[in-house]
Amino acid sequence: MAILVSLIIGGIFILSIGKNPFEIYALLFKGTFGTSYDIGQVLFKATPLIFTGLSVAFAFRAGLFNIGAEGQLYMGAMLATLAGIWIPARFPSLPSLIVVTVCIFAGFIGGGCWGIIPGWLKARFGVHEVINTIMMNFIAYGLTNYLVLEVFSVPETIHTPEIGLSARIPRFDALLGIFRGSPVNISLLIAISFAVLAWVILTRTRLGYEIRAVGLNPKAAEYAGIPVAKTMTLAFFIAGGLAGVAGSNFVQGFKYYYEDGFAAGAGFMGIAVALVARNNPMGILFSALLFGTLSQGGLAINTQVPKELVEILEAVVILAMVVMTELFNRWIIKQKNLS
């Protein structure tokens, strides 16, 4: 229903530039689910959004608004890249499984440490996390930019040297021969398992209970004996770590190097992904898929409509989705009250 409404609103925009909405939508559908390659592309684009969506949702459950997933992603990806270059060079005989795991762990630590700073500032000084995380984004961007261009400075490129062979995450294409040509890789499975893990932590553990309690009412949580400051900091560490692993999809699974500015807003998109899924880790899998479809579909129709309109369409779909889910929920509550 939500999708239908957003398609209609989008159709009006397409009409306004003199194109036939049906043709454009057909193109959009063909470009996202037409061939196994296209499906692979959708999954590839959804993968980092699962991570950043989880990151935002996790912090949100603790009552914290994480605008810093973008910066955490950059820092995590950078640390994972450093590990991916250094470890295979230093220990060439180490099996790939271990190296890949260490790199992903490095990504988690990199993003986590970047998340812990605003978390601590919030818990210790009460400085609002929105301003903290935005500033941390700028610092992360400048820092990684400096590392890529000045420290590594591979001539005539804007990326680092390649990571070692053993640090690379295999693609489905190479492993199973599915999604031929698309870089979709095992990171997708890692993302799904992280989503399950996040769900388990939030709903089935003491830590998750404390996080949710702090998120619902920090004062009440404190009366109940929950260490609020510690819980907030820890929640931000995990949130940052989740965003930090998002880079593995591009760095370890696709290009095998860190490219300056590669994520292009995946961290910010994570906010929308989390909100559409109402911060439910399982729901995030689906909303990330939707956003991945939009992103891939946008590129597919870009030959017919200008980039600006593609961006408008994406935004319209997101808005319609959010409004419709809200209306649907109210309707359900109303029905419940009636019965």
Partner 1 sequence: MAGQLFKVILLILVTAILGGCSGQNPSSTIDNKEKIQVGLVFDIGGLGDKSFNDQAYTGLKKAAAEYSLEMGKDIEYLEPAEAADRETALRQMASKKKALIFGIGFIFSEDVNRVAKDFPETKFACVDYVSPANEADIPPNVVGLKYKEEEGAFLVGALASLVTKTNKIGFVGGMQSPLIKKFEAGYKAGAHYANPKCVVIANYAGMTPDAFKNPSKGKELALSIYDKGADIIFHASGSTGLGVFEAARDKKKLAIGVDADQYDEAPGYILTSMIKKVDVSVFEEVKAVHDNNFANGIRVFDLASGGIDYIYNDKNKNLITEDTHQKIEAIRQKIINGEIKVPSSLD
Q: Residues interacting with partner 1, by CB under 8 A? A: 8, 11-12, 15, 18-23, 31, 35, 37, 41, 44-45, 145, 149-150, 155-158, 181, 183, 250, 254-255, 259-265, 296, 298-300, 302-304, 306-307, 311
Provide the phi-psi class of 335: left if phi over 0, else alpha when psi is between -120 and 50, else beta.
alpha
Q: Nearest approach, Cβ of 77 to partner 1 (angstroms)? A: 12
Query: What is the CB neighbour count within 10 angstroms for residue 275?
Result: 18
Q: Nearest approach, Cβ of 133 to partner 1 (angstroms)? A: 21
Collapsed DSSP state (helix, strand, coil) of residue 104: helix
Compute the Cα dihedral for 236, 83, 197, 287 and give only its sign. positive
Of 199 and 257, which has the nearer Cβ to partner 1? 257
| C-alpha atoms less than 13 angstroms from C-alpha of 276 in its C-beta half-sphere | 25
Q: What is the DSSP string of 205-273?
A: SHHHHHHHHHHH-HHHHHHTT--HHHHHHHHHHHHHHHHHHTTHHHIIIIISS-BTTTTTTHHHHHHHH
Q: Nearest approach, Cβ of 8 to partner 1 (angstroms)? A: 6
Q: Nearest approach, Cβ of 213 to partner 1 (angstroms)? A: 38
- Residue tagged 């880790």 (tokens): 281
Q: Nearest approach, Cβ of 145 to partner 1 (angstroms)? A: 6
Of 97 and 174, which has the nearer Cβ to partner 1? 174
Are the C-beta atoms of residues 236 and 116 closer than 8 Å to each other?
Answer: yes
